Amino acid sequence: MQLGLQRQREANEKTAVDRCWQITREYEDAGVSAYKRRVVRPGFEQLLTDLASGLIDGICVWDSDRLARQPRDLERLIDLYETRKGLVFATANKDVDLSTSDGRFYARLMVNVANKSSADSGRRIAAKHLQLAQAGVPVGGNRPFGWQVDKRTINKEEAALIRQAARDVIAGVGIHTIVRQWNRAGVRTTKNNFWQHQVMRQMLLNPRLAGFRVYRGELFRDADVQPVRGQYPAVLDVETWEYVVATITARKHGIRLGARKYLLSGIARCGECSRQLHGNRGHGSFFYKCEQPCGRVSMSGPKLDGLVEEFVRQKLAEEMTDEPYESEPESDNGLQEVLNRKAELMKAYTTGELSAETVFPAVQQLEAQAKELRQAQIARVRQHSLKIHQADLAYDELDTDQKRAVIGTIIRYIVVNRAEGRGGKFNPERVTITWND
């Protein structure tokens, strides 16, 4: 690109010298399309401003199609030439002169031809990309994380990181925690940047991880509404990727930008109103309290944390086995059948076999059923993920978010009941813990 710009610059300088003009300013929009309607070209906009203000008295451009490929852009320029008399114009290949009426007429013809040529090229390129998507051929610029430069061969080190991240997400670890761990370990994106929350999220949601083809940023489906397989191996099996997607998209409260400060904040619940308890600073330490309108239940934070963590350690020790846990959780709980029925109904609607009144109420019921089945799968996989890694799990070495993930996996409810009398004495009998099956 730089060599091309240099050649154009040299040609413009020669054209100016031949006409005894002095070049006072240069305007460039390198890599910016003159054809795309929604693209803002800063160099072109500044040129129009300077031409209208009298800062410059004309234009010398390499070729007219470098200046405008949209008729509306050319008309803005022509308006200036018709308003300000005496403006000069020249191109290196002498194809047009906007300072004359014949030149403006010819410029309009050329811009319309160039516009049509760009539109035809766009349609050909779109058709080509659609054909490549249908065949599952990988395309794109930078290599995707998890694959080599050819976009077809697995990068073993990166794939291992993705698989661990998937297990962590399913187990309940926050994406920002994974981002923090990867950045600390020196793991960088394929552009050699630090990981950000949104970048990590998009990577984990990418259908490519499961071996599917992506087209225009979305999972590409064939005429039968089935996902198209890409011509590259998957990093995750389909079930695991679906669990990851369901886990990420099921989080109701959006992105948390930092780690939790208190271990049981939002996990422990009030025995009076069932609302979540939250950590609060006070008296040189912190405590968990039910907020208004209840406000009747509170408990020492360090003591409640200590009590729950001791139960967790005991539970982990009880479930520890000498043999590795390798069996996969049951993945087919009827979810795929529900999804297939939904796809069949949508296909019948698109082909005109069934009406919207028949299809969409049934589709809504199937979507609700699929949501329940997917949540059940996630719960099983969380249990599975915990059992797989128990041998490597050093609970006391985990950070707060990771501990919360473990607690959420093995504990269903932590309920703190109201104290019967006044006084600050800690009573563990006020705490009720219900374990997951």
Angle of the 175-184 helix axis to the 197-205 helix axis, nearest 10: 110
Place of tokens 């729950």: 308
d(CA 133, CA 230): 8
Q: How far is CA 122 from the centre of its chain?
A: 26
Q: The whole model's pTM is what?
A: 0.45
Question: Partners of 58 in the beta sheet?
Answer: 88
Which tokens go with 388? 């797989």
- Asked if the peptide bond before residue 293 counts as cis, ω within 30 degrees of 0, the response is yes
Place of tokens 């940023």: 217
Query: Residue 421 in contact with residue 356, Cβ under 8 Å?
Result: no
Question: Partners of 227 in the beta sheet?
Answer: 221
Closest of 285, 308, 268 to residue 395, by C-alpha: 308
Domains and CATH numbers, the chain: 2-132 (3.40.50.1390), 156-250 (3.90.1750.20), 262-437 (no CATH)
pLDDT of residue 359: 83
Separation in Å, CA 37 to CA 40, 70, 115, 293, 422: 8, 7, 11, 55, 71
Which residues of the chain are modeled with pLDDT < 50? 252-259, 321-331, 388, 391-392
Closest of 358, 406, 362 to residue 386, by C-alpha: 406
Sequence-separated (6 or more) residues with CB below 8 Å from residue 77: 48, 51, 67, 68, 98
pLDDT of residue 99: 79
pLDDT of residue 408: 77
Strand 431-435 and strand 411-416: the pairing is antiparallel
Provide the greatest CA pair distance for the chain: 99
Query: Residue 60 in contact with residue 87, Cβ under 8 Å?
Result: no
d(CA 10, CA 92): 10
